Amino acid sequence: MISDRFRLAVAQLNPTVGDVAGNAELVRKARQEAASQGADLVLTSELMLAGYLPEDLVLKPAFVRRCMKAAETLAVETADGGPGIVLGSPWRSEEGKVYNAALLLDQGEIKAVRCKYDLPNYSVFDEKRVFAAGPLPGPVDFRGVRIGLPICEDIWNDEVCECLEETGAELLLVPNGSPYWEHRAEHRLQVVVSRVVQTGLPLIYCNQLGGQDELVFDGGSFALHADRSLAFQMPQFEAALGISDWKREGETWVCENGTFARLPELDEANWRACVMGLGDYVTKNGFPGVVLGLSGGIDSAICAAMAVDALGADKVHAIMLPYRYTSEESITDAAACANALGIRYDTVPISGPVEGFRSALSDLFAGTNEDTTEENLQSRARGVILMAVSNKFGRMVMTTGNKSEMSVGYATLYGDMNGGYNPIKDLYKTQVYHLAAWRNANLPEGLLGPGGEVIPSNIITKVPTAELRENQTDQDSLPPYDVLDDILECLVEDEMSVGDIEKRGHDRALIHRIEHLLYIAEYKRRQAPPGVKITERNFGKDRRYPITNRFRDRS
């Protein structure tokens, strides 16, 4: 029986929602590796067997049964004398309630079940919809060590950890499913510090890894001693098994040999999140690669670079789709970008399809003036061609619109909004420019793309344009992006009033116009593909506005 020291393995793994057998195998392999290193206990992340977030899969009894059966099988395997496992899984009680649970598996059986008490129901979370709240938990006994198992949200408030400390827990092991957004790692650390100060107990924080639809789980698992010092730090955005030795010193436990991974700065973290979200969406959904329209503009160029970093150049196919308004500069820039990335690049002119549409509509449109209708025919012709290539060869169409455009509806339904996934959906245009320049100067370790200037500098410096009519620029329809993005951040991220935004120096009429565009574009966003969450309030789970909406802030 362990009494004064034990070896812990923190398994920072990348599960796939619904792949119970595959997720169980990840745990099995992590346990085998932990056993080879003499570990006594393996800690996994929240709902590891199900994958996180499982959403309404939890409402399917067959799914919950499969998770429970897999947990029971893993429990039997611990009879081999190797390490125990703290395993996250849905769990149905004898009364029929389904809980978000942490199971202690050891010596061939499920030794204990602890259920999540504090179910989050905000932002991207909606756990009260599918789970029952568990009772306040007490500690579990693992080979002579009294361990508290609060689950994720249970540490964001003080009630659960206070209960565990009062009922004799010696240290806290926390399975987490905490998704990435900007500055999230700092926020997690602040929360953990608060719980350590409150309880006087060491806390080990195991976070999930990987992309799940629009969410990215960045890992970054870590531990704090009872004195708030960092015991170990695991990497962000990569799978890892962290081994640490803990010994009892007086009334507390101390880590003897923690390792400390470097955490990326904000630009690298945002880039890695976009790359991981895209890569996991493509691979977990079984696509052999991606295809995108490469226009010579900044958005498609940065998306191509992210795709190569995520998947490798051989899995990225770029197509230039020129029309009579496409400049030679754009054609040159697109080809240079494709060459720098080493990806397949084809040209498919769209004159024939566009003129065919115009001819088919000529009688119906007789007597009218040309407007955005004819412009949108170009975008929709491109969308049809990209979808045809996708249908023929199986590669997913990647969408390339940024958050600024998605905010104000500067995008064409069934045209440039076509596709399966958008890695820059939650990046404002100014962020896109900034990250493009950053990527040209940096190649994070482990990514699959080349170093050097992968986005030609002319793409970054030239005036942005959709090239749907002669001499068009984005600023014909929109204010400068630094102005637009500041107003949008005020409206979307901070829900500021028009009056407060005006105090920042913006024109009141312009704010009203942007607010109006934001609201009336809601129907487009509802039909947009998913994309990586980067900001605190992405379009989707975070921001749920009605499509039919006459409210306007005129205060």
Given a cut of 60, whether residue 323 has pLDDT beyond it is yes
For position 3, what pLDDT does the model report? 73
80-89, 132-141, 510-519, 544-553: least confident range: 544-553
For position 80, what pLDDT does the model report? 95
Is 523 annotated for ligand binding? no
Domains of the chain: 5-263 (3.60.110.10), 267-526 (3.40.50.620)
Under the banding of pLDDT at 50, 70 and 90, the label for residue 474 is low
Q: Which residues pair with 224 in a beta bridge?
A: 203, 230
Q: How many helices (H) and strands (E) does the chain have?
A: 16, 19
Contacts of 235 (CB under 8 A, 6+ apart): 219, 220, 261, 262, 263
The whole-number average pLDDT for the span 334-363 is 96
Under the banding of pLDDT at 50, 70 and 90, the label for residue 50 is very high
Is 407 annotated for ligand binding? no
For position 145, what pLDDT does the model report? 94
Which tokens sit at 357?
């549409």
Which residues are catalytically annotated? Answer: 46, 116, 152
Under the banding of pLDDT at 50, 70 and 90, the label for residue 537 is confident
Is 552 annotated for ligand binding? no
Contacts of 210 (CB under 8 A, 6+ apart): 14, 15, 16, 216, 217, 276, 280
Under the banding of pLDDT at 50, 70 and 90, the label for residue 393 is very high
The residue type of 414 is Y
For position 476, what pLDDT does the model report? 64
Is 433 annotated for ligand binding? no
Given a cut of 80, whether residue 135 has pLDDT beyond it is yes
The more confidently predicted of residues 101 and 325 is 101
Give start and end residues of each alpha helix (H) in 115-183.
159-166
The whole-number average pLDDT for the span 330-353 is 96
Is 122 annotated for ligand binding? yes
Residue 31: count of CB within 10 angstroms of its CB:
27
Is 106 annotated for ligand binding? no
Given a cut of 90, whether residue 114 has pLDDT beyond it is yes
The whole-number average pLDDT for the span 65-79 is 97
What does the alpha-carbon distance between residue 121 and residue 126 come to, in Å, rounded to a whole number? 4
Under the banding of pLDDT at 50, 70 and 90, the label for residue 541 is confident
Q: Is the pTM of this model over 0.85?
A: yes
Under the banding of pLDDT at 50, 70 and 90, the label for residue 334 is very high
Bridge pairing between strands 215-218 and 222-224: unpaired
3-class SS string, 448-480: CCCCCCCCCHHHHHCCCCCCCCCCCCHHHCCCC
Cis amide bond preceding 53, omega within 30: yes
Is 405 annotated for ligand binding? yes
pLDDT digits (tens, 9 = 90+) for 414-468: 988 999 999 999 999 999 999 999 999 999 999 999 999 999 999 999 887 775 6
The more confidently predicted of residues 389 and 124 is 389
267 close to 439: Cβ distance less than 8 angstroms? no
Which tokens sit at 342?
């080493």
Bridge pairing between strands 171-176 and 145-148: parallel
For position 1, what pLDDT does the model report? 54
Residue 382: count of CB within 10 angstroms of its CB:
25
The whole-number average pLDDT for the span 58-68 is 96
For position 472, what pLDDT does the model report? 66
Given a cut of 60, whether residue 324 has pLDDT beyond it is yes
Mean of the per-residue pLDDT values for the chain? 94
Given a cut of 80, whether residue 473 has pLDDT beyond it is no
Given a cut of 60, whether residue 403 has pLDDT beyond it is yes
Given a cut of 80, whether residue 256 has pLDDT beyond it is yes
For position 123, what pLDDT does the model report? 81
For position 467, what pLDDT does the model report? 59
The more confidently predicted of residues 2 and 278 is 278
